[in-house]
Structure 1
Amino acid sequence: RRRGGGKGRQPGSPGLWVSPLFSSQGRRNWLAMAAVEAAFPPANLTPVNQSGCDVHNHQVSAKVTFSLFYTALLVLGACGNILALCITFQRRKKKLNSTDLYLVNLALSDALFTLALPGRIAYYVLEFNWPFGDWFCRATAFVFYMNTYVGIYFMTCVSVDRYIAVVRSRHPGRLRRMSRARAVCVLIWFLVFLQTAPLLLRPMTRRMGDRLTCMEYFNFEEVPKLPYLLLAACVLGFFLPVGIILVCYVRINLKLCQTAKENPLTVKNGHHRRAFTVILVVLLAVLLCFSPYHLNIVQFMVRKILYQPSCREQQAFKMSLQVTVAFMNLNCCIDPIIYFFAFRGYKRRLLRIFRNSGSMATSSTRHGPSFSLRPALLSLTAPLPPLLLPS
């Protein structure tokens, strides 16, 4: 009666459906079916995360907004940072000092970052659909986050360098040697490379319906201890550098107040005032560009640790993440403003180029298309005036 099938195997009996699942052959078939379904999801799958929540419900508005934003960012960021590099390297009569070196690395990082923007523009134009494959997505993520933390660290170096020049002005040369500045630059690039290299070692894309998403937070939810890892990254990559910049800002301000009390004539000292202005601009740039993103990450990770956020909270986080990442990437356009305040030579050279370009345009309208490029070339090859920052 066991071979012929007992009561548990009669048609309509629950045993008919339960017993194959618990048999060895049934388990193999069930696991095989699960593997096939995981590898080839149904065609009508909607773009949802693991909890079944549609986090891409704002894709239509994001298509227009972020496509235009990153296009403008590409043009302004590339032009501003390439121009800064050209002007800096045209200085023939004066060697680079430590501040120059940090700013050159900052401009180089921003210029390299603009190479990753065309892919992001295409991603938003196609409504969160990545057309370039997983490896290019990994490279884009690597460049994105490497630029972020290289920028924060070099801004911190500029602030510390200004602090040494003003507060530790008795013996600044030993601490600001070019050999040490070069070693600091190499160390920063190496450490940030180690921090962001894991992005190259894991898939950055995820299939969601008929779309292939790239660099989305919800693609990484299966990473163990993800909230704790991101909180630690925020502390080391943002809050610690911002604390250092704030300390430098406060100490320079106190030094200026103390010096003004001891000798009122030193209030007009341009060196100290410009150092204070540079750190103030750096602090404002860091707070404006990077604090919204990191505060957003911190608040959501704390929620993830305490409880499972609702679908509405996840959708709000997804949208706010797009906005705060856009603010974070805005730093590649704001960094040239730091160069403008840091160097009188940069400011004069920039104004001279625009002035010569305007005169060339006027000459071309008066005398036809045949005009000389000599004035603009002379403006680029002429030596820069000395820096106003103390070196």
Structure 2
Amino acid sequence: MNKINCSPPDKDLFEHRVLPALYISVFVIGLVLNVWGMKSLLHNWKKFQHINIFVLNLGLADIMYLLTLPFLIVYRLKGNKWMFGDRFCKVTRFCYNLNLYGSIGFLTCISVYRYLAVVHPIRTRGRLTTIHSVVISAIVWILVSVHSLPDMFYPKTYPNGSKCFDTTSYENISSYLDYTIVAFIHLSSTSEEKGRTDFLLEDKMNTTNCVTRHKDLFEHKILSALYIFVFVVGLLLNVWGIKSLLHNWKKLRIINILVLNLGLADMLYLLTLPFLIVYYLNESKWIFGEPFCKMTRFCFKLNLYGSIGFLTCISAYRYLGIVHPMRVKGRLTSTHSVVISVLVWISVSAQSIPDMMFPKHSENMTGQCYDTTDLKNVEKYLHYSLSWTFIGFFIPFVVTVGCYGHVTLVVCRSKTVKKNRKQQILKLMVLLLLLFSLCYAPYHVFRNLNLYSRVQFTREICPTWNSEVFIAHQASRGLVSLNSALNPLVYLNVNKDMSLQMKQLLYQGSQPFRRLLKTRSSTSPVSQSEEEAPVLFKRRQLLRGGHQIFIRRFKSKSSSVPVPQAEQESLSGEKS
């Protein structure tokens, strides 16, 4: 830019003098006023109005940004030389975005609340509660985080760490412009340098000995066959389960709303399986375009982490209902379940959207549809994968194990819980642990190991365990897809009506086999013991009836009440 004299005039004046002075005044005045305002709000906590919760969150957004200003002041005063590291630079810019869009969000909520209170006071009277304000504030924070999170994936510094851009470096400015205009849709065109690098990496992979064994067998035959099985079985079971839940909509319990959302997450993924089946049967040649490839992988992420999220919520609801029944009695309503479901969907979408920012094919192989990304971006994708493995899988797994571990202790020690109830609770616990250990855990472990192996390859290192990890990763991909076929088993353990319907279906299905066995047994000779069985059964019934009448007669004598004539006649008839 300096060679063609494209440098803006008075750049040093504004960046190194005017901007730091403005930042210092904003930091001092903003910090004093916001601390004073939040202290006043918290001092009158019991007199809180609903709108004050938005004002409090507005203050928190301001404080979050103000605390990063001293670092930016030092950066500007030192002539744009950043000394706090690349990660803290990204955190600083992330806090700025949170403050910017969070302030806009909460100011909008304040405007809407004012509008409803002034224009429609009677309609909204008693309907806008503190809980609504808290829930709306949480949704605003989640949406703003979703909006700001992709910004952290763009480089903010030069390799030597001398800069801290508020946008990104010149090499990525085109894609950042697309992100700025359209919040989450990645429409940028890749540069020629990126394509050349991808080509060299792919060529290097084909010419070295770091080749995965049995790749065609696992990807094009086993995986496609497993997807066909999951699609057929999962679609039938989930449609039947959702239909049963909707049929008894008025009888829906609180936990059934979470189960219904679990089924919707499965359906979202199952409807994309036919395209993946065609892709793998066609020897990994994607013919549906890159946008739909990203949408397919996005639906898989929604199903994966949505299922984990809703199963964790079911575990927490079970824990509260069994361990703390008196505390939560009347407090857990259908509204809470709906709000929690919405929060799960929003958080899962926030987790899955950055995946769409990564390219799903290399420059020289446009017919591919990777489940992760190309070799050029594999190291960044590994960091993204590790962070969401911890947040999206490990934390929910610990919560689920903790909840059901405590529930098992309480149920086993309790003498008031019936045996059938204990069996139902323990069955659900075993099923959830099976889903986590069989479907989710192997996938996350081997996916990250496979990504690490690809990162090592970009550094011209071929791990000795490369082929084994690849095979295990392909097997875990098949296992994780099974969760869409196994999740309907949760319906049976949660909904009694559905379990009864399943038993009736199994009984009706077994009737033809029973009739066939009866027709075969009728042609065979009957033994003497089988002939005497009906006679013995009748004798036992007569003895039991006589015993009951004798007890009644004995009681009637002791209470000086005459025995009815009918009972005397029946007793004399049996004796004869």
TM-score of the superposed pair, with normalisation by structure 1: 0.72
Q: Please name the residue that 1:188 is paired with.
A: 344
Work out whether 1:246 is the aligned partner of 2:393: no
Q: CA deviation at 1:246?
A: 0.7
Q: CA deviation at 1:99?
A: 1.2
Q: Is the 8 A contact 1:205 1:212 kept in 2?
A: yes
Distance, in Å, in 2 between the alignment partners of 1:83 and 1:73 is 15
Pair 1:56–1:116, CA change in 2 (3 A): farther
Q: CA deviation at 1:83?
A: 0.5
Work out whether 1:71 is the aligned partner of 2:228: yes
Distance, in Å, in 2 between the alignment partners of 1:304 and 1:41 is 15
Pair 1:304–1:131, CA change in 2 (3 A): closer
Q: Please name the residue that 2:389 is paired with.
A: 234
Q: Is the 8 A contact 2:199 2:362 kept in 1?
A: no
Q: Please name the residue that 2:490 is paired with.
A: 338
Structure 1: gaps of 5 or more residues = 1-33, 261-265, 361-391
Work out whether 1:289 is the aligned partner of 2:449: no
Residue type matched to 1:226 in 2? Y
Q: Is the 8 A contact 1:80 1:336 kept in 2?
A: yes
- Give the stretch that moved more between structures: 189-198 or 270-279: 270-279
Post-superposition Cα deviations, 1:57-111, rounded to whole Å, max 9, x if no partner, equal: 621453221221111111011111001001111116x521221011110011111
Q: CA deviation at 1:216?
A: 3.9
Q: Please name the residue that 1:105 is paired with.
A: 261
Distance, in Å, in 2 between the alignment partners of 1:351 and 1:282 is 22
**What SS does the aligned partner of 1:203 have?**
coil
Q: Please name the residue that 2:359 is paired with.
A: 203
1:121-136 residue pairs with structure 2 within 5 A? 121-136=277-292
**What SS does the aligned partner of 1:222 have?**
helix
**What SS does the aligned partner of 2:491 have?**
helix
Q: Is the 8 A contact 1:46 1:54 kept in 2?
A: no
Q: Please name the residue that 1:169 is paired with.
A: 325
**Residue 214 (structure 1) aligned to one of 351, 354, 369:** 369
Q: Is the 8 A contact 2:198 2:376 kept in 1?
A: no
Q: Please name the residue that 1:89 is paired with.
A: 246
**What SS does the aligned partner of 2:368 have?**
strand
Q: CA deviation at 1:293?
A: 0.8
TM-score of the superposed pair, with normalisation by structure 2: 0.50
Distance, in Å, in 2 between the alignment partners of 1:101 and 1:245 is 18
Q: CA deviation at 1:197?
A: 1.3
Pair 1:324–1:336, CA change in 2 (3 A): same
Pair 1:254–1:316, CA change in 2 (3 A): same
Pair 1:40–1:286, CA change in 2 (3 A): closer
1:133-144 residue pairs with structure 2 within 5 A? 133-144=289-300
Residue type matched to 1:294 in 2? H
Q: Please name the residue that 2:412 is paired with.
A: 257
Q: Please name the residue that 2:237 is paired with.
A: 80
Q: Is the 8 A contact 2:379 2:455 kept in 1?
A: no
Q: Please name the residue that 1:21 is paired with.
A: none
Pair 1:35–1:229, CA change in 2 (3 A): closer
Q: Is the 8 A contact 1:80 1:333 kept in 2?
A: yes
Distance, in Å, in 2 between the alignment partners of 1:145 and 1:136 is 14
**What SS does the aligned partner of 1:88 have?**
helix
Q: CA deviation at 1:322?
A: 1.6
Q: Is the 8 A contact 2:228 2:277 kept in 1?
A: yes
Aligned CA-pair RMSD: 3.4
Q: Please say which structure displays the higher CA radius of gyration.
A: 2
Post-superposition Cα deviations, 1:179-232, rounded to whole Å, max 9, x if no partner, equal: 1111100000011111111233343223555x7221244515525543332221
Distance, in Å, in 2 between the alignment partners of 1:61 and 1:230 is 23
Q: Is the 8 A contact 1:47 1:56 kept in 2?
A: no
Distance, in Å, in 2 between the alignment partners of 1:299 and 1:37 is 26
Distance, in Å, in 1 between the alignment partners of 2:374 and 2:268 is 25
**Residue 472 (structure 2) aligned to one of 320, 326, 341:** 320
Residue type matched to 1:255 in 2? V
Aligned length: 320
Q: CA deviation at 1:41?
A: 6.2
Q: Is the 8 A contact 2:262 2:307 kept in 1?
A: yes
**What SS does the aligned partner of 1:176 have?**
coil
Residue type matched to 1:342 in 2? V
Q: CA deviation at 1:335?
A: 0.6
Q: CA deviation at 1:340?
A: 1.7
Q: Is the 8 A contact 1:293 1:328 kept in 2?
A: yes
Distance, in Å, in 2 between the alignment partners of 1:350 and 1:329 is 23
**Residue 196 (structure 2) aligned to one of 38, 42, 50:** 38
Structure 2: gaps of 5 or more residues = 1-191, 513-576
Q: Is the 8 A contact 1:159 1:248 kept in 2?
A: yes
Residue type matched to 1:182 in 2? V
Residue type matched to 1:338 in 2? V
Q: CA deviation at 1:115?
A: 0.8
Post-superposition Cα deviations, 1:125-184, rounded to whole Å, max 9, x if no partner, equal: 112221212111101100011100000010001111110110011122344211111110
**What SS does the aligned partner of 2:398 have?**
helix
Pair 1:64–1:172, CA change in 2 (3 A): same
Distance, in Å, in 2 between the alignment partners of 1:103 and 1:349 is 17
Q: Please name the residue that 2:418 is paired with.
A: 268
User: Which gives a bigger RCO, structure 1 or 2 (Cα 8 Å, sep 6+)?
Assistant: 1
Q: Is the 8 A contact 2:238 2:263 kept in 1?
A: yes
Q: Is the 8 A contact 1:340 1:347 kept in 2?
A: yes
Distance, in Å, in 2 between the alignment partners of 1:49 and 1:38 is 16
**Residue 154 (structure 1) aligned to one of 310, 315, 325:** 310
**What SS does the aligned partner of 2:251 have?**
coil
Residue type matched to 1:87 in 2? S
Residue type matched to 1:238 in 2? F
Distance, in Å, in 1 between the alignment partners of 2:360 and 2:431 is 34
Q: Is the 8 A contact 1:130 1:213 kept in 2?
A: yes
**Residue 280 (structure 1) aligned to one of 426, 430, 436:** 430
